[in-house]
Every structure is written in C-alpha cells, then in structure tokens.
A = this chain, B = another copy of it.
Amino acid sequence: MTVTITAFERSPDRGNGLARDMRVRWALEEAGQPYEVRLLSFKTMKEPAHLAIQPFGQIPTYEDGELTLFESGAIVLHVAERGPGLLPDEAKARARAIMWMFAALNTLEPPIFDRSLVRILERDKPWYEERLSALDEIIRKRLEGLSSHLGDADWLDGAFSAGDLLMVTVLRRLQGLGLLEERPNLAAYVARAEARPAYQRAFEAQRAVFAASSAG
C-alpha cells in the first residue's frame, strides 16, 4: 500500500520548505518510506472532498490504506513509530523525544508562526512595530531556553529524533531575521539538520513542486 500525502500545489513560501508538508516528507525520507503526493490548490483545499479528511481545510494529510491522518505532528509521530531512525527504542528516551515534538509545536511554533503572519498581514497597520517587538521578546525568551538546553550538543536529547525534526522545521522560519543568528548554537543546530541527506531529498522534492507550478 502506497502512502499518499497532500501538499500545496503552489506553496506561499515559494518552495522554501516552510509549508507543513516538508515535515512529513522529511520524516518519510528519514524512515525510508516511499510516498506519493496529491497537490491541492487553495480552492480545492476548502472543498467537501478535502474537508471530509481534513475538517480545517489544511495540508498536509496522510493516507495509508484505511488510515487517514492530518496534523503534521501526528503524522510525523505515526511515521516515527512505524519506521526506523526517528524515535529511540529505550522508553524514557522515547518519551523525551516526543516531549520535544510537542515543545516544537506548542511552545516554539505559536509565536514564531504568528510573527510570520504579522509580517504579511499587519505590515501596514499602525501597531506593526509594537506587535513585532512584543513577539520578538517572546521568541527570544523561548530561544534562550532552547539554546541553554542544547548547549554544545548536536541534538536535543542524544541521537537525532522526530523532536529535532519538528524543532528544526519551526526554527527555519526565523532564518535571516536575526533572532536565530543571536544564538549561534541554534543556528548551527539548524544547519546540521539541513545537511542530512533525508532533509535534502525532502527539500528538493517540495521545491520541484513549486518550480513546476511557477513554470506552468
């Protein structure tokens, strides 16, 4: 049975790997699991056929026979539980890797994703600078905690895990904005992850989709 995921036909990030299908592609590549991709336009994402499997009208989804999932975090965890390389075998280390998955999505991602939205949607508002400063302050505190924890280790808890995978996809949103670069160990952590062959295969695959949609 072939795994099928959904992704943007034309990603708003212009193929920079920030859309949430990147996480799922990367996890599937790390686990050595082949997959197919069904591309969705912004219009078809909100139509009944997609809403029946994703009630919030978003990407990505994951279909494998009779199992359909959404939520990139849940899909990555499912892939990590079934394949090799993304979760430690030892029970305590496994629980901590999953803890870092939740930390990426529930502690780091909300202010970082908000900041991206504010830069797009509120740029012309009179409160733009103040909103951005307030978010930067929150983000800096979170990065400080993460940086202190990481120290000079390669990964958040022993070997590379699904926790690192999600954390890196969240931190990449900050690249080039100065915030990540203030914490050299975090910038190096992201670069270390981006150098993984599985990351590079996933990145090229999503970039090829954007290139094809732009040429078409």
Of A31-39, A49-57, A179-187, A195-203, the one contacting chain B is A49-57
Say yes or no: B57 contacts A145, CB within 8 Å. yes
B-contact 0/1 string along A72-111, CB 8 Å cutoff: 1111011000000000000010011011011101110110
Q: Which residues of B contact A58 (CB under 8 A)?
A: 107
Taken together, the copies of this chain in the complex come to 2
Across the interface, which residues of B come within 8 angstroms of A148, CB to CB? Answer: 51, 55
Residues of B close to A69: CB separation below 8 A: 95-96, 99
Min distance, Cβ A97 to any Cβ of chain B, angstroms: 9
A73 contacts B106, C-beta separation under 8 Å: yes
Contact of A74 among B99, B113, B127, B142 (CB under 8 A): B99
Q: Name the 3 nearest CB pairs between A and B, nearest first.
A: A71-B102, A74-B99, A55-B145
Q: Identify the A interface with B (CB < 8 A).
A: 51, 55-58, 66-67, 69-75, 77-78, 92, 95-96, 98-99, 101-103, 105-107, 109-110, 113-114, 125-127, 130-131, 141-142, 145-146, 148-149
**Cβ contacts A to B, 5 pairs, < 8 Å:** A56-B103, A56-B145, A105-B105, A114-B114, A126-B126
